[in-house]
Amino acid sequence: MNVAVVLSALATLAWIAALATIGLAVMRAARGQRLKAAGGIIIAAIILALILTTISSGLVFIQPTERGVVITALGEGVRTQALQPGLNFVVPFLENVVKYSVARQTYTMSIASEEGQISGDDSVDARTADGQIVKVDASVIFSIDPDRVVEQHIKWEGRYIDNLVRPVARGVIRDAVSQFGIEEVVSSKRFELLAAMEDELAIIFNEGALVLHDFVLRNIAFSDEYAASVEQKQIAEQLAQQAVFVVQQREQEAEQARQVAQGKADAVVIEAKGDAEARLIQAEAEAKALELIAAALQDNPDLLTFEYIQKLSPGIQVMLVPSDNPYLLPLPELQPSPTP
């Protein structure tokens, strides 16, 4: 329970009671009637109201996510130490407290009309090193340094968003983008760009008693002209890739045809080698057979005559033999041909 709020409510009730008592006394006096002890009641109510108002004015409750800067009529105008979470006491009527949230805050600059803190297109127009215009959507997540709340109040008096966060963030984005080309911004060096922005913002925010927790590079949009050129480039690259694929396909088909032809040629060679080897084997066998026959004839010359007779047709009727050759086998008897 917030004691300061309760005391303030009680003080308000005491003032209402005092005013009601005064009003009632005036009405009765107008009618010629007197209110007994009206003066004492009024004085007591006023005194109680003054006491409660004074006490409630001196009590300040600070939430855990807050810090309080004490503006005082005593001394240099501001207490050097901020009020910490909990119940705090200040000098009534001479000091008042300005509360600051130390929780994280997000400031968004977006091309979408309803996403950012400012309605409409609030993206950052930035020019790249090669002269292209890009629109940058970004969010800055920050908080007030809890240990430097008084310093922050003295520097900005609560106007740190309009006077520090917004202008600095937009300026840092433009400066960082100008160091990179359009292709680097959107692809190869996007993370390097983001790191450069974060480092620069962290330094400037620290000087302003703020803490940068994160910087989100939400989106980078091109101009219409560059977007059209990128689209045409992508189409050309796709066509080139398709042509390369067709060439590779044709090369694969040619390689397959070459391999098939090579296979057929290898098969013909293998078959020819097989035929040659078969013929060689057959020739060697025939030569061997002739050698054996020659050896046999050398040992038995009449074997040739025997083989000659063996080859004659079995139905032969007449045989002519050399006159100097003896008859080895009896000839079949000659039978006369039938008379027609």
Backbone angles phi, psi at 211, to 5 degrees: -115, 125
> Is 30 exposed, middle or buried, given 0-12, 13-18 or 19+ CB atoms closer than 10 A?
exposed
Tens-place pLDDT, residues 244-279: 877 888 888 888 888 888 888 878 878 878 777 888
Residue 326 confidence (pLDDT) above 60: no
Q: Please name the residues in contact with 221: beta carbons below 8 A apart, sequence gap of 6 or more.
A: 111, 123, 134, 135, 136, 137
CA 337 – CA 340 distance, rounded (Å): 9
User: What pLDDT is stored for residue 253 in this prediction?
Assistant: 83
* HEC secondary structure over the chain: CCHHHHHHHHHHHHHHHHHHHHHHHHHHHHCCCCCCCHHHHHHHHHHHHHHHHHHHHHEEEECCCEEEEEEECCCCCECCCCECCEEEECCCCCEEEEEEECCCEEEEECCCCCCCCCCCCCCEEEECCCCCEEEEEEEEEEEECHHHHHHHHHHHCCCHHHHHHHHHHHHHHHHHHCCCCHHHHHHHCHHHHHHHHHHHHHHHHHHCCEEEEEEEEEEEEECHHHHHHHHHHHHHHHHHHHHHHHHHHHHHHHHHHHHHHHHHHHHHHHHHHHHHHHHHHHHHHHHHHHHHHHHHHHHCCHHHHHHHHHHCCCCCCCCCCCCCCCCCCCCCCCCCCCCC
Q: Choose the weakest-confidence range: 8-17, 115-124, 329-338.
A: 329-338
Per-residue pLDDT tens over the stretch 131-176: 888 899 999 999 999 999 999 999 998 899 999 999 999 999 999 9
Q: Per-residue pLDDT averaged across 214-243, rounded? A: 75
Between the CA of residue 180 and those of 34, 176, 229, what are the distances in Å?
89, 7, 19
- Asked whether the predicted pLDDT for residue 232 surpasses 80, the reply is no
Average pLDDT over residues 39-44: 74
pLDDT at 320 over 60: no
Cβ atoms of residues 143 and 105 within 8 Å:
yes
pLDDT at 227: 65
What does the pLDDT average to over 28-35? 66
pLDDT at 268: 80
Assess whether pLDDT exceeds 50 at residue 26. Answer: yes
Residue of 130, 152, 139 whose CA lies nearest to 68: 152
- The structure's pTM equals 0.60
Q: What is the pLDDT of residue 209?
A: 94
Which range has highest mean pLDDT (127-141, 219-233, 236-250)?
A: 127-141
CB count in 10 Å sphere of residue 65 = 14
* Mean of all residue pLDDT scores within the chain: 81
Phi, psi dihedrals of residue 181, rounded to the nearest 5°: -80, 165
What separation in angstroms does the CA of 179 have from each of 127, 130, 166, 184, 189?
9, 9, 21, 10, 11
CA torsion angle 166 169 174 179 (round to 10): 170
For residue 334, the model assigns a pLDDT of 46
CA dist 147 and 134 (Å) reads 38
**Percent over 70 (pLDDT), the chain:** 80
- Is 305 exposed, middle or buried (CB count within 10 Å of its CB: 0-12, 13-18, 19+)? middle
